[in-house]
Structures are given as structure tokens and as C-alpha cells.
């Protein structure tokens, strides 16, 4: 009895302990399972991350390989005749077959740079060999001058004058939003001419010299020097390239961005001296400064104005600051089916020259990466450093192949003479 009576609490205690033990084991098992599940999820996440990184790396490699293949295809397509043969050219351009190869290469360039461009025929090669046969069409050129004058009176609108603007007047920009303005200050107005510097100016035969790499090795300098009036573009250097481009300059454009690109915004004494010496070489030429094309030129324009005021009387160069004339010039060229985002400086200079000259010859107007006379590769500008690759950044704003096609058509019509061959 006593034994049985004393044994019941022991059984209950043992059962209780066993239940507690089981609960603890369950709790520990659940914790272990949780840890294992967490570890498993971490491992899966790590695997996913590795797979994503591998996929990204493979995608980048495949993209790079695709770009390389496309580049090689383009290079081989354009240069295949160089790889297959190395034709030799004589001093005057070589044989007709060699000229055909050069012409073919030029046509291929036109197709690549402007797919809508109808390739030029062998007439271009023929013309390069027989440039002396070009005939000036005086009556057609007079008609062209009249047509342009219906859109803009260039002599009177060539530059703002002291009488055409007032201090405090707000100028807008041709290619920027109308909200951007430039306030005419006293210093700016003091730099304006009293009358247009080309008013009542007329010249017989003029040269408009572009900056194409086709002038490299052309030996056209002596020929350019003989013209009655020489237009140049964008303050291009001439001194060390005089054999090919000559030195004479009667007018040159000067985009304010040139100050930033080549003269470090005149931030140092050396920069200012370099700019002063460059201007000194122009003597009494006209510096045509289109300050109201883009609002981004505003700060540089003020720097330029301060410099000219500071050096007033020390330079012979004549300053010209055109107002908002581009809408009128653009309207004319639209009638010739030319309506790029922005006309090139070269065709703009031809437009200005048409009001001052009886006959116009163009040099350095060739927007392609090799010489049509020899087939050799060319830099974009004749003054680019040796080894500089031909650029097509101009495609963002210009339609240079279309411009060239139009200029060549005008050449055939006797409205201008397009010089593409070497001069000596």
C-alpha cells in the first residue's frame, strides 16, 4: 500500500519531465530547421547573384564582340580595295582606272554617311582631271544673288551697328529657346561698327576656304593668295599651313566657343597673349562673330567683349557682330531642298560672299575621310594633329554630304567653282 501510494507522484514527475524534454527537443529541432532554411536561402541568393554577375559579364562580352564585328565589317567594306590592291597615283591624280577607284571610294563614303544620297557618277572624277574646263555662268549667278536678296539684305544685315541697337536691348538666339536673352551693354555696343563693313564693297573673284583635310598636301596656298578677297572659316590657322592654304585672310568667322576650345577662356596671361598674337596676324581683316546663335555662348561673349575693350586701339582687326539672320538664310536654302538642323559655316560663308563677289571659288569643301584624287585617308580638318581620326560628330547638326551634293551641282551649273584637285 505504502509502496503504491508513494509511487504515483514519481510517475507524474517522470511524465512531466518527459514532456518537457520532448518540447525542448521540438523547439531545438525547429530552430535547427530554421537555421538550415536560412542557410539554404542564403546559398540560393548567393547562387543567383553569381548567375546574374556571370550573365552580365557574358552579355557585356557578347555586346563588345558584336560591336567589334560590326566595326570590322564596316572597315573591310570601306577599305577592301586597299586590302586587295595598292594602286599608285601620279602627281596629277594618276590613270583613269586609278581615278575610278578613288571615285568609287568617294561614292562609298557618300552612301555610308548619307544612305539617301544618290552616288555621284564618274563625272566627279572627270571633273577632277579637267577642272580647267569649268565655265562661269554669269547670268545664272546674278539670278542667284537676286534670289538670296529676296530673303535677306546681306550688306545691311552683315553686322549689328551702333544705330541698330540700344543699351539694354535684349537679343535672342537663333538656335536656342526664346526664353534666353543677352542684354546689350555699353561695352558691347561700343565695339559695333557705325555702318556695315561690307556696305558698297564689291570684288571680282573671291575664294572661300573651308577647313577640310582635302587641303592637306594640296599646295593650293599660292593660288589662294592671288584672289581679290579671301574668306576663311572659324579662325583657322594658316601660318604653318601656308603652302596648302595660303596666309591671306580678308574675313574669317569666329564662333565664341573657339575662345574656350583653343584659348582656355583667356584665363591666364599666356592664353591672352596667344589670342592677341593670333588676332595681330589678321591685320585689318574682318572678324565675323556670330554671338547670337546659341545661349551657351553668352559667358564667352562677355569675356570676348572685355578683351576687345581692354585692347582697344591695339589691334587693326575689324569686328562684325551679326544679329538674328539665320532664319532668313535658312529660308533661302530650304528652297534648294537643304534644311539641316544647322547650316555649315562653309555654306554660310558662300552665302555672304555671294553679296560681295562676282565669282566664287571654293577650297577645302570635302566632308569625307579620304582624298578623291589619291584615295589616301584624310583628317577632318587640315590643321588636325597627325594621326587624328576622321570624325562624323557633325552628323548631329549638319548634312554635309547633302550640302556637298548641292555645291557640286552648282559647280556644274557655273554658279561656283569647287576645287578638289591638287594645285601643284
219 an active-site residue?
no
Q: Which residues pair with 232 in a beta bridge?
A: 209, 252
The dihedral built from the CA positions of residue 95, 101, 105 and 110, taken in this order, carries a sign that is positive
β-strand pairing of 170-171 with 182-183: antiparallel
CA 378 to chain centre: 16
- Selecting among 101, 361, 381, 398, the annotated active-site residue is 398
Helix axes 96-113, 2-84, angle to 10 degrees: 150
Q: Which three cell numbers, joined as nine digits, stand for 196?
A: 556695315
Cell of 182: 543677352
Beta-carbon contacts of residue 258 (< 8 Å; ≥ 6 apart): 234, 235
Q: How far is CA 382 from CA 210, 211, 213, 230, 408, in A?
A: 9, 6, 4, 17, 21
* DSSP 8-state secondary structure symbol assigned to residue 364: S
DSSP 222-273: HHHHTSSEEEESTT---GGGHHHH-S--SEEE--THHHHHHSGGG-SHHHHH
The answer to whether the CB of 346 falls within 8 A of the CB of 210 is yes
Edge-to-edge, what's the strand order for the sheet holding 286-288?
318-320, 286-288, 251-253, 229-232, 203-209, 357-363, 417-419
CA angle at 214 for the pair 213 and 216, rounded to the nearest 5°: 70
Question: What cell does 219 get?
Answer: 599646295
H-helix segments, 153-227:
154-157, 186-190, 221-225
**CA 120, chain centre distance (Å):** 24
Pairing, β 182-183 against β 286-288: unpaired
Which grid cell sits at 67? 560591336
3-state secondary structure of 326: helix
**Which sequence positions are flagged as catalytic?**
398
Amino acid at each position: 500500500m505504502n509502496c503504491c501510494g508513494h509511487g504515483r507522484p514519481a510517475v507524474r514527475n517522470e511524465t512531466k519531465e518527459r514532456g518537457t524534454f520532448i518540447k525542448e527537443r521540438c523547439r531545438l529541432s525547429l530552430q535547427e530547421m530554421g537555421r538550415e532554411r536560412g542557410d539554404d536561402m542564403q546559398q540560393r541568393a548567393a547562387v543567383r547573384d553569381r548567375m546574374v554577375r556571370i550573365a552580365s559579364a557574358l552579355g557585356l562580352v557578347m555586346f563588345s564582340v558584336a560591336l567589334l564585328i560590326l566595326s570590322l565589317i564596316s572597315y573591310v567594306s570601306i577599305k577592301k580595295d586597299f586590302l586587295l590592291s595598292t594602286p599608285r597615283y601620279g602627281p596629277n591624280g594618276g590613270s583613269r582606272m586609278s581615278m575610278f577607284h578613288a571615285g568609287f571610294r568617294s561614292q562609298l563614303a557618300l552612301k555610308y554617311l548619307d544612305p539617301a544620297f544618290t552616288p555621284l557618277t564618274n563625272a566627279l572624277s572627270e571633273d577632277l582631271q579637267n577642272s580647267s574646263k569649268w565655265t562661269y555662268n554669269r547670268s545664272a549667278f546674278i539670278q542667284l544673288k537676286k534670289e538670296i536678296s529676296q530673303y535677306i539684305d546681306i550688306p545691311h544685315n552683315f553686322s549689328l551697328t551702333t544705330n541698330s541697337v540700344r543699351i539694354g536691348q535684349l537679343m535672342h538666339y537663333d538656335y536656342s529657346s526664346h526664353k534666353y536673352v543677352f542684354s546689350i551693354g555699353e561695352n558691347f555696343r561700343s565695339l559695333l561698327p557705325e555702318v556695315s563693313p561690307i556696305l558698297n564693297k564689291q570684288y571680282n573673284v573671291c575664294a572661300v576656304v573651308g577647313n577640310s583635310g582635302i587641303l592637306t598636301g594640296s599646295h593650293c596656298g599660292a593660288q589662294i593668295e592671288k584672289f581679290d578677297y579671301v574668306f576663311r572659316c572659324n579662325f583657322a590657322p594658316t601660318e604653318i599651313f601656308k603652302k596648302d592654304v595660303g596666309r591671306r585672310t580678308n574675313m574669317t568667322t569666329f564662333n565664341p566657343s573657339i575662345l574656350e576650345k583653343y584659348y582656355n577662356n583667356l584665363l591666364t596671361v599666356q592664353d591672352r597673349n596667344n589670342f592677341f598674337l593670333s588676332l595681330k596676324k589678321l591685320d585689318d581683316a574682318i572678324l565675323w562673330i556670330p554671338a547670337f546663335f546659341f545661349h551657351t555662348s553668352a559667358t564667352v561673349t562677355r569675356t570676348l567683349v572685355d578683351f576687345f575693350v581692354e585692347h582697344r586701339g591695339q589691334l587693326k582687326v575689324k569686328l562684325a557682330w551679326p544679329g538674328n539672320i539665320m532664319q532668313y538664310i535658312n529660308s533661302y536654302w530650304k528652297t534648294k531642298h537643304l534644311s539641316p538642323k544647322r547650316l555649315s559655316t562653309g555654306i554660310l560663308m558662300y552665302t555672304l560672299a555671294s553679296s560681295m563677289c562676282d565669282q566664287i571659288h571654293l577650297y577645302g569643301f570635302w566632308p569625307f575621310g579620304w582624298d578623291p584624287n589619291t584615295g589616301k585617308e584624310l583628317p577632318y580638318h587640315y590643321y588636325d594633329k597627325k594621326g587624328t581620326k576622321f570624325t562624323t560628330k557633325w552628323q548631329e547638326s549638319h548634312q554635309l554630304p547633302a550640302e556637298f551634293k548641292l555645291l557640286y551641282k552648282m559647280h556644274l551649273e557655273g554658279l561656283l567653282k569647287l576645287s578638289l584637285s591638287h594645285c601643284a
